[in-house]
Amino acid sequence: MISTQIYRLIPGAPVADHNWRRAACQGELVVRARSSGEARALAAQAEARAVGVAQPTTGQVLASAFEDPVLYFSRRDDRGTFPDEGPIGVLSGSFEVPAGWVGHVD
* 44-55 residue pLDDT tens: 989 888 877 655
Residue 40 has pLDDT above 80, yes or no: yes
Mean pLDDT of 23-52: 90
Mean pLDDT of 6-27: 89
Average pLDDT along the chain: 84
Question: For residue 32, what pLDDT is reported?
Answer: 98
Spans of all domains in the chain: 5-92
Determine whether 7 is exposed, middle or buried from the number of CB atoms within 10 Å of its CB (0-12, 13-18, 19+). Answer: buried
Reported as a pLDDT band with limits 50, 70 and 90, residue 96 is confident
